[in-house]
Amino acid sequence: MPDQIILSTLRLNHTFPSPALKSKWRDRITPAELISLNLTPKEITRQELINELIVTEADYLADLKFVHRVSKKCNEKIKSWEWLGMVAWHVEQLEFTSNSRDRSFCKQALQKGIRPCEQLVRLFSNIEDMIRLHDNILMCLQSRQMKQQPCITAVSDVLLPFVDRFDIYESYLVNYTTATQQLEKAVNEESEYGNFVKQQEQLPICRKLPLQAFLIAPVQRLAKYPLLFKSLLDATPQLSSDFCPTHKLYKGMDAFIRKIEDAKRKEESHGRVIELQSLIKIPLSFNLLKPGRELINEGYLCGVIIPESPGAYSPEQNAEPQKIRLYVFLFSDIVLWTREKNGQYKLIIPPARITNVSENSDGLFEVTSVHTGKTTFLLSAPNVKDKTVWIKSLRSVLRRHTNRGNDERLDEWWFYSG
């Protein structure tokens, strides 16, 4: 199954210290003021949460501005290398110069150029929009803080209007994984781009942290919002005027993050399907990149393949069923049963649709799929966890597979001559 960026998981990794986190709400008032406010422990917790929200928002905005500063320099480098790359292409294709020294220089420039950094350009493309959004959020929060200090009665009404504007994060999160992988590769290979990044990391504002620690800040911040809003909701009395706005804020941000995670998953799935197009031996007439097709799960399974109708294809028609190692690709509309060799995948039956999934008492599970014929697989997974995931995935697509119309005839999908 394609790797997925799950925000709730990422927030646990790559954390880095934030100086302003030392500032707590109690540090802002005197003991006498705290006594005079006569707050319950729950109300004190709520004030601490509101303060944490404001303080960490300021820290996050500072990190965003640093990333923007570096990204501008990165983009300038990339653009200069892109121009040199275009020169190199013309040197290679048109041979407009006979100077071998110039040709060699341009070829080296092409290797340094835009190609390994495309995802970084996309990652940085809307940093300015993110800064404007959080500048406005922080300004509104601090304005409320100034008006109501030391005890803030409500903040959710301030934040609610901004929830719909968080869709600017979608591009950042979709490109994050590939971009950071490219960045890490550039740094490890000590390319000119990588050395430039290392120079930026030596700046005092970096706090001796790698650039990746700042690039993950938007991911962590989005993951943190629902946790903060849920804690704030739990600490807000139900009779408070801020309870309903806080509930809407929590639900709205949680729904937004789920939407982003789904977009990220689909983008990763599409990228993997593009890759598989060249790795799976499929007839030219079969289009793996069909619009709407999504990769649900993939991996190794072992089992017995039992043909159940004369039309089913089997490379061992006259042999007793034997246990083989399969590599299975489960898509939203089809399943591909393959055998893997040296990173390439060969179909052992035609592309099929799942018609039945059942679990046996002996720990195996049975899957029936139809294609030009019908084949039943008695399967085992590498471990219990994988088995659970496979059964859940198979059952989740079973209805979609069996309910598809007759507009796509399976017997027209496959022509395979070994």
Mean pLDDT of the chain: 77
Among residues of the chain, what percentage have pLDDT more than 70? 72
* Better-predicted residue by pLDDT, 389 or 178: 389
Nearest to 329 by CA among 259, 281, 257, 258: 281
What gap in Å lies between CA 94 and CA 174, rounded to an integer?
A: 37
pLDDT at 319: 54
| CATH number of the domain bearing residue 347 | 2.30.29.30
Boundary residue ending a domain (249, 277, 305): 277
Asked whether the bond before 150 is cis by omega within 30 degrees of 0, the reply is: yes
- Per-residue confidence at 2, pLDDT binned at 50, 70, 90? very low
In a domain, 14, yes or no: yes
pLDDT at 329: 95
Query: Would the pLDDT of 17 be above 70?
Result: no
Q: Are residues 178 and 36 in the same domain?
A: yes
- Per-residue confidence at 261, pLDDT binned at 50, 70, 90? confident
Domain of residue 299 covers 290-412
Q: Are residues 201 and 316 in the same domain?
A: no
In a domain, 245, yes or no: yes
Domain total of the chain: 2
pLDDT at 285: 76
- pLDDT tens track for 365-415: 999 998 888 889 999 999 999 999 999 999 988 877 766 544 444 444 444
> Do residues 94 and 154 lie in contact, with contact meaning Cβ atoms separated by under 8 Å?
no
Q: Are residues 130 and 229 in the same domain?
A: yes
Query: Would the pLDDT of 75 be above 80?
Result: no
Q: Are residues 206 and 345 in the same domain?
A: no
Q: Residue 342 CB: number of other CB atoms within 10 A? A: 4
Among residues of the chain, what percentage have pLDDT more than 90? 31
The β-bridge relationship of strands 374-380 and 280-281 is unpaired
In a domain, 284, yes or no: no
Strand segments (E) across 171-271: none
Q: Following CA atoms 149, 152, 157, 162 in sequence, which dihedral angle do they give, to the nearest 10 degrees?
A: 60
Q: Are residues 301 and 225 in the same domain?
A: no
Query: Would the pLDDT of 178 be above 90?
Result: no
In a domain, 2, yes or no: no
In a domain, 48, yes or no: yes
Q: Are residues 260 and 373 in the same domain?
A: no
Q: Are residues 310 and 340 in the same domain?
A: yes
Q: Are residues 251 and 303 in the same domain?
A: no
In a domain, 393, yes or no: yes
In a domain, 417, yes or no: no
Mean pLDDT on 3-16: 38
Quick one: DSSP state of residue 383? S
pLDDT at 381: 92
Give the C-alpha distances (Å, rounded to integers) separating 342 from 280, 285, 417: 12, 24, 21
- pLDDT tens track for 53-69: 999 999 999 989 888 88
In a domain, 297, yes or no: yes
Q: Are residues 252 and 357 in the same domain?
A: no
